[in-house]
Amino acid sequence: MTQNAIEVVELSKMYHIARSKDLNLTLQERIGQAVRAPFQRIAGLVRGNATAAADLDQEFWALKDVSFTMEKGEVVAVVGRNGAGKSTLLKLLSRITEPTSGHATIRGRVGSLLEVGTGFHPELSGRENVYLNGSILGMSRREVDAKFDEIVEFSEIGKFIDTPTKHYSSGMRVRLAFSVAAHLEPEVMFVDEVLSVGDVAFRKKCSEKVQSIAESGCTVIVVSHNAQAVTAMCDRAIWLANGQLVADGEVNRIVSDYLSQSIGLSGERVYSDEETQHCEVARVRAVRVRDKRGNVVNNIDVREEFCVETELEVLKPDHSLVLKYDINTSDNMGAFASLDTKNPTWQQGKWDVGTHVLRMWVPGNFLQFDTYPISVTLWEWQPERRVEWAGRDQVCVHVTNHLEGPTAACGLDFGVWPGPVRPVMQWDMESGSRNVPLDDAANGYVARP
């Protein structure tokens, strides 16, 4: 029976932190505290209680009873908000700090990309720091010798390799440190947000390197806030919150649930009269995301079309109304926007009093896999141009990845796809005199004469 690469059993880490100061103390009470403090700290040291001596008398559990296993070659994402315990987990697994309780068993050579640049000495040259950092990460001198040229080439700082690193820019140090760690050839690797440092080109290069390491059969744990990166790189995700394990499962489902909770949105939002009482011409009663079968959804397969639906109550006739949607990525970057400009009532300015339902359809194989918050704006265009109602991030939809079938990927895993859209485009080909017939009905392929 194959042994697991990583086994984590009820792993916990507790820190002592200072209690919040009471700001309502009188001057006399503050003076009394200041006089007593040195004696209380000495007493704590005498009793062997260092935390009391340092006024660290409050317990904080950064990680609490976390358990999971990983098979050899598995690539798992750890997601959660800042302070959830993700970095603490990796530090415990890397043996940087000891757990308060529980234990973790790791089988194989470990490489950690946690805090890039740890172990660099500013007075040593880049060359000397490569050997120093490699030694810290567990590489022998012979291994560093064999990998040295490759490390320097990857870092792109060969011209400065014999210059003391105190003269390096922060970006140069990041490049060299990542390059050393990435060429360790570990059997188990921990990656903690180092893919978010450096310039865009270097981040892309780092992502590709980590992915190639994962594809070589290395067991990898990745901590990242980039939904596209983790869903492209990982098959499984672990969700941490307040130091505890919330969920463990298929990456698309876990990332979708995590982002939906973090954003605080679902696939439906219904409004009360109080929320729209300021509206004079029309009120937005509800906004929903529906699949092609009419179901309200929060998740949608990248291959399927879906619609954003708004239920609108018109209060006054003879006004020209225009509805607009703004769709953003999980990183709050604009994906696209759309106006209801084809609606004949917009041009004629004749909306009947009553309820109307407007739907914007998004085709399948259009959006990238990510979570998309949707903002809604209702304009009165005539007789007065003004915003009748606006709501930022009212609902959201998570587009889940799929490699099989008629998709842009078509069964090929190319890693992280750039940009907010991933459409299936029309291609053609010329092959000398042996062209594929135009509009080939067999495969939909179009050739040019």
Which range has the worst mean pLDDT, 115-124, 357-366, 379-388? 115-124
**268-270 and 110-113: which strand pairing?**
unpaired
The residue range of the domain holding 291 is: 268-400
Quick check: is 6 in a domain? no
Whether the per-residue pLDDT at 195 is higher than 90: the answer is: no
Whether the per-residue pLDDT at 210 is higher than 80: the answer is: no
Instruction: Tell me: do 255 and 276 sit in the same domain.
Output: no
- Residue range 64-114, pLDDT digits in tens: 999 999 998 898 999 988 888 998 998 899 888 899 999 999 988 787 776
Instruction: Tell me: do 390 and 251 sit in the same domain.
Output: no
Instruction: Tell me: do 256 and 272 sit in the same domain.
Output: no
User: CATH number, domain at 209?
Assistant: 3.40.50.300
Which range has the worst mean pLDDT, 75-84, 263-272, 348-357, 385-394? 348-357
Instruction: Tell me: do 333 and 359 sit in the same domain.
Output: yes
Using alpha carbons only, what angle is made at residue 248 by residues 243 and 251, rounded to the nearest 5 degrees? 115
The strand ranges marked E within 208-366 are 219-223, 236-241, 244-250, 268-270, 282-291, 299-301, 306-314, 320-328, 334-339, 354-362
Tell me which residue has tokens 């609490």. Answer: 64
- Rounded CA-CA distance 143/128 in Å is 14
Instruction: Tell me: do 189 and 299 sit in the same domain.
Output: no
Asked if 259 and 399 touch (Cβ cutoff 8 Å), the reply is no
Instruction: Tell me: do 77 and 212 sit in the same domain.
Output: yes
- Rounded CA-CA distance 202/179 in Å is 11
Instruction: Tell me: do 227 and 321 sit in the same domain.
Output: no
What is Dmax (Cα atoms) for the chain? 98
What single letter denotes the amino acid at residue 110? V
pTM above 0.75, yes or no: no
Instruction: Tell me: do 115 and 225 sit in the same domain.
Output: yes
Q: How many helices (H) and strands (E) does the chain have?
A: 10, 18
Instruction: Tell me: do 117 and 254 sit in the same domain.
Output: yes
Tell me the C-alpha to C-alpha distance, in Å, between residue 438 and each of 424, 426, 432: 19, 13, 14
- Rounded CA-CA distance 213/144 in Å is 18
Quick check: is 405 in a domain? no
Per-residue confidence (pLDDT) for residue 442, from 0 to 100: 47
- Rounded CA-CA distance 94/92 in Å is 5
Quick check: is 104 in a domain? no
Instruction: Tell me: do 279 and 381 sit in the same domain.
Output: yes
Q: What domain count does the chain have?
A: 3
- Rounded CA-CA distance 401/133 in Å is 38
Tell me which residue has tokens 């309820």. Answer: 355
Of residues 45 and 189, more confidently modeled:
189
- Retrieve residue 333's tokens: 């970057």
Instruction: Tell me: do 124 and 220 sit in the same domain.
Output: yes
Quick check: is 275 in a domain? yes
Whether the per-residue pLDDT at 163 is higher than 90: the answer is: yes
Q: Is 325 exposed, middle or buried (0-12, 13-18, 19+ CB in 10 A)?
A: buried
DSSP 327-345: EE-TTS-EEEEEE-TT-HH
Quick check: is 101 in a domain? no
Whether the per-residue pLDDT at 116 is higher than 70: the answer is: no
Using alpha carbons only, what angle is made at residue 388 by residues 387 and 390, rounded to the nearest 5 degrees? 75
Instruction: Tell me: do 140 and 35 sit in the same domain.
Output: no
